[in-house]
Amino acid sequence: MSPSVKPPFQNRLLTPIQYVKGVGPKLAALFGKKGIYTVEDALYFLPRAYEDRRSIKKIAELKVGHKEASLGEIFLSEMVFYQNQRKRVFEVMVKDGSGVILLKWFHGNERYLRERFKKGRRILFSGEVRWFHGHKEIHHPDVEMIEGEVDQDSLNFNRIVPIYSEIEGLYQRTLRRLMKRILEEYAPYLESPIPAEIQEAQGLIDFREAFRRVHFPPNEESLKRLNLFQSEGHRRIIFDEFFFLELGLAIKKRQVTLEKGISFKTDGPLLQKGLSQLPFSLTSAQERVLKEILEDMERPHPMNRLIQGDVGSGKTIVALLASLPVFECGYQVAIMAPTEVLAEQHYSTASRWITPLGIRIVLLTSHVKGLERERIYRQIRRGEIQMVIGTHAIIQEEVEFHRLGFAIIDEQHKFGVIQRGLLRKKGVNPDILVMTATPIPRTLAMTVYGDLDLSIIDEMPPGRMPIETRVFSESSRARVYRILKEELQKGRQAFIVYPLVEESEKLDLRDATRMAEHLQREVFPDHRVGLLHGRMKGEEKEAIMKEFKEGKIHLLVATTVIEVGIDIPNASVMVVEHAERFGLSQLHQLRGRIGRGNHPSKCILIAPYRISEEARIRLQAMERTTDGFQIAEEDLELRGPGEFFGVRQSGLPDFRVGRLIRDSAILMEARREAFRLVDMDPQLLSPSHHPLRAALMDRWKGRLELATIG
């Protein structure tokens, strides 16, 4: 486009929807409720489905139970009163020579309807055909008046018609008209400068054309593919989204892997010694992952690897083993955990396995204060301490390492990329290992952690006791208490988890605080009941957790604060109250707190009798499987990536059209092309890639550092 015809807005796509002819402030407010503020948002508001109105049938041919379109002449229209149902219905009778059909409106302005549906007029109509007392009818049909000949350019008939998701107060017809206008005026400003070679290799159609076709498909499109979001237009738009994401990730990853890192010698005796001290042998998944890590550590570039594995799959042990060569090479190791309890747990594990090898370890949390803290800082700085385990206290400015060579981050989704960066800076390009207990489907992992290499521990250590999961309704509460009592009498411990801390005004939730008191006094007077919730101070929480760990508290009533990695092998029952209110991954995380010892465990999900269909699917999934990956896939399908753990936090864009699981084939292709491109031109410096570079910077909005073009 030459500068002289450049529009007044820097980017015309950001024109507020209000300024589109025919919109105005009132309609703009309606669009706003759907998150549509600019014309670009509107262009990305793709139809949720398509209806086939290409062929207009005779009334006699209309099939009951199908969505059909037809045309005819009005020969009767009137408001009808149904005494017995006390209902007013506006009815229009239409004929076409082949048959008769009745169109009904159960609400609407009578004067308007009368005016519109005058006897003798010809109309096009469509909707689901019903059978009622021996005749066909359609309720609230989509209707268009015919003046003279049938309009060949109609947006609503004689074509595949887009169905948009409902915008309250806006008719589909109005939406279609506005969409058409927006497409005509603004689609020319859409850009997706994917190199021609890639477009060709991938058989991609023109980007602007893709939007036109997706909103108003040409008649030869396949209705089935459209409805599956698999038309060429859909593919082009989704490819664009994924490609620019992957391109950014490829560049990030490339930058890191080109940097100089530490090349560790990993075949020293310490690792062998450590392995021989373990009272068990590694699972083959652990062995494989340990090997992947060690290979990375040998390379002269920084490692950036994610270990993914279900709770209890043995990630921590693998990470600790991988630390051994680091000590041997004279470097330090840091482990950062999201909570103090978890940090302490890692500390005690490490003390058990690592300290006997002559390695000095310290626990650094916010509890360590004053002189003690100063002393620890000094020892870390001088390299007298080789392993530092702690919370985010580790990334405080005052903490200086002597030679940090390896950083382990547990439960990544609680931290995010920024903290990862801060920890990295404590050393000189140390190797980084991220552990996550939230199993993430591979497709999602490739995007959320797209700049990391992925290792998966998909096997549990042998001898795990099974967890039986069952859904109980509110009315079976007495039985639930009996089960609890039995376990407590056997010396086991139990969790009861609540969604909220205090009773909200409207919701009839059992409040954790009151419930704890009730359980203590009336149900389990012979056992000690403890309470843990998010509004407690950190120290209070720690104290309670400690008592529970030490077996002084038998029954712990808690909100979801117990979610993360806590290891209480003696806990064998978990009751989740209002289980229907929890997400699937969250339920799975919670359940991971039990089944960690030598006792078969029970997970009891209490839910009301009446719950939503989606909630039912979640609870059934919990009953069916304990496989975290399977659960994660189902969860991603149910909720979409935006809601999935940590995706928001990670600073990645939400997809407007693409869906990771549905469109995983496109994602793989986009990733392959993007990575190949970055292999050839790591900073996109070749002149032919300048438009691509500009588009990339725009999409990533400052989250990507690129070398400046000299």
| Choice from 166, 280, 348, 654 touching ligand ADP (CB under 6 A) | 280
Nearer to ligand ADP, 567 or 663 (CB): 567
* Residue 572, contacted partner among Mg ion, ligand ADP, none, CB below 5-8 A by kind: none
* Residue 283, contacted partner among ligand ADP, Mg ion, none, CB below 5-8 A by kind: ligand ADP
Stretch binding ligand ADP (CB under 6 A), from 139-147, 211-219, 313-321, 528-536? 313-321
Residue by residue, DSSP assigns 591-649 as HTTSS-SSS-EEEEEEE-SS--HHHHHHHHHHHH---HHHHHHHHHHHH-GGGSTTTTT
Provide the pairing of β-strand 361-364 with 159-163.
unpaired
Q: What is the dihedral of CA 693, 699, 701, 703, to 10 degrees?
A: -80
Helix axes 613-624, 584-591, angle to 10 degrees: 30
Tell whether residue 317 is a contact of ligand ADP (CB under 6 A).
Answer: yes
* Residue 312, contacted partner among Mg ion, ligand ADP, none, CB below 5-8 A by kind: ligand ADP
Terminal C-alpha separation, the chain: 25
Tell whether residue 499 is a contact of ligand ADP (CB under 6 A).
Answer: no
3-state secondary structure 443-477: HHHHHHCCCCEEEEECCCCCCCCCEEEEEEEHHHH
> In the bound complex, what is the minimum distance in angstroms from residue 302's beta carbon to ligand ADP?
23
- H/E element, 126: strand 122-132
Tell whether residue 193 is a contact of ligand ADP (CB under 6 A).
Answer: no
Tell whether residue 316 is a contact of Mg ion (CB under 5 A).
Answer: yes
Q: Which of 340, 474, 443, 470 is CA-nearest to residue 394? A: 340
Q: Is 432 helix (H, G, I), strand (E, B) or coil?
A: strand
Nearer to ligand ADP, 217 or 565 (CB): 565
| Choice from 94, 311, 334, 445 touching ligand ADP (CB under 6 A) | 311
Stretch binding Mg ion (CB under 5 A), from 308-316, 369-377, 535-543, 674-682? 308-316
Strand residues in 319-385 grouped as ranges (E): 332-336, 361-364
Question: Whose CB is nearest to ligand ADP?
Answer: 314
* Residue 274, contacted partner among ligand ADP, Mg ion, none, CB below 5-8 A by kind: none
Tell whether residue 565 is a contact of Mg ion (CB under 5 A).
Answer: yes
Write 48-52 long-range contacts (CB < 8 A, 24+): 48/163, 48/164, 48/165, 49/163, 49/227, 50/160, 50/161, 50/162, 50/163, 50/217, 50/223, 50/226, 50/227, 51/126, 51/160, 51/161, 51/163, 52/160, 52/161, 52/223
Q: Which parts of 444-463 interact with ligand ADP (CB under 6 A)?
A: 461
> In the bound complex, what is the minimum distance in angstroms from residue 581's beta carbon to Mg ion?
26
Rounded Cα–Cα distance for residues 240 and 232 (Å):
12
Cβ–Cβ under 8 Å, residues 386 and 333: yes
Cβ–Cβ under 8 Å, residues 294 and 322: yes
| Choice from 141, 162, 217, 312 touching ligand ADP (CB under 6 A) | 312
Which residues is 103 bridged to in the sheet? 92, 138
Q: Which of 244, 227, 239 is CA-nearest to residue 46? A: 227
Nearer to ligand ADP, 199 or 313 (CB): 313
**Residue span 170-209 as binding mask against Mg ion, x where in contact by CB under 5 A, dash where not:** ----------------------------------------
Q: Say how many C-beta atoms besides its own lie within 10 A of residue 228's C-beta.
A: 11
| Choice from 126, 304, 316, 601 touching ligand ADP (CB under 6 A) | 316
Q: Say how many C-beta atoms besides its own lie within 10 A of residue 478's C-beta.
A: 8
Tell whether residue 363 is a contact of ligand ADP (CB under 6 A).
Answer: no
For residue 318, the one-letter residue type is V
**Residue span 234-273 as binding mask against ligand ADP, x where in contact by CB under 6 A, dash where not:** ----------------------------------------
Stretch binding Mg ion (CB under 5 A), from 444-452, 559-567, 625-633, 670-678? 559-567
Cβ–Cβ under 8 Å, residues 126 and 101: no
> In the bound complex, what is the minimum distance in angstroms from residue 646's beta carbon to ligand ADP?
18
Q: Which of 182, 192, 233, 244 is CA-nearest to residue 211? A: 233
Cβ–Cβ under 8 Å, residues 593 and 437: no
Cβ neighbours of residue 590 closer than 8 Å, sequence gap 6 or more = 495, 497, 560, 562, 563, 574, 576, 582
**Residue span 460-479 as binding mask against ligand ADP, x where in contact by CB under 6 A, dash where not:** -x------------------
* Residue 214, contacted partner among ligand ADP, Mg ion, none, CB below 5-8 A by kind: none
> In the bound complex, what is the minimum distance in angstroms from residue 631's beta carbon to Mg ion?
17
Nearer to ligand ADP, 199 or 316 (CB): 316
Cβ–Cβ under 8 Å, residues 548 and 536: no
Tell whether residue 439 is a contact of ligand ADP (CB under 6 A).
Answer: no
> In the bound complex, what is the minimum distance in angstroms from residue 442's beta carbon to Mg ion?
21
**Residue span 262-301 as binding mask against Mg ion, x where in contact by CB under 5 A, dash where not:** ----------------------------------------
Nearer to ligand ADP, 393 or 460 (CB): 460
Stretch binding ligand ADP (CB under 6 A), from 146-154, 277-285, 645-653, 655-663? 277-285
* Residue 566, contacted partner among ligand ADP, Mg ion, none, CB below 5-8 A by kind: none
Rounded Cα–Cα distance for residues 559 and 501 (Å):
7
For residue 293, the one-letter residue type is I
Q: Which parts of 381-410 interact with ligand ADP (CB under 6 A)?
A: none
Cβ neighbours of residue 639 closer than 8 Å, sequence gap 6 or more = 583, 584
Site size for ligand ADP (CB under 6 A): 14
Nearer to Mg ion, 77 or 308 (CB): 308
Tell whether residue 628 is a contact of ligand ADP (CB under 6 A).
Answer: no
Nearer to ligand ADP, 274 or 530 (CB): 274
* Residue 313, contacted partner among Mg ion, ligand ADP, none, CB below 5-8 A by kind: ligand ADP
Nearer to ligand ADP, 313 or 447 (CB): 313
Tell whether residue 286 is a contact of ligand ADP (CB under 6 A).
Answer: yes
* Residue 549, contacted partner among ligand ADP, Mg ion, none, CB below 5-8 A by kind: none
Backbone φ, ψ for residue 270 (5° rounding):
-65, -40
> In the bound complex, what is the minimum distance in angstroms from residue 279's beta carbon to ligand ADP?
8
Tell whether residue 595 is a contact of ligand ADP (CB under 6 A).
Answer: no
3-state helix, strand, coil in the chain (%, to 5): 45, 20, 40
Q: Which residues bind Mg ion (CB under 5 A)?
A: 316, 565
Q: Which residues bind ligand ADP (CB under 6 A)?
A: 280, 282-283, 286, 309, 311-317, 437, 461
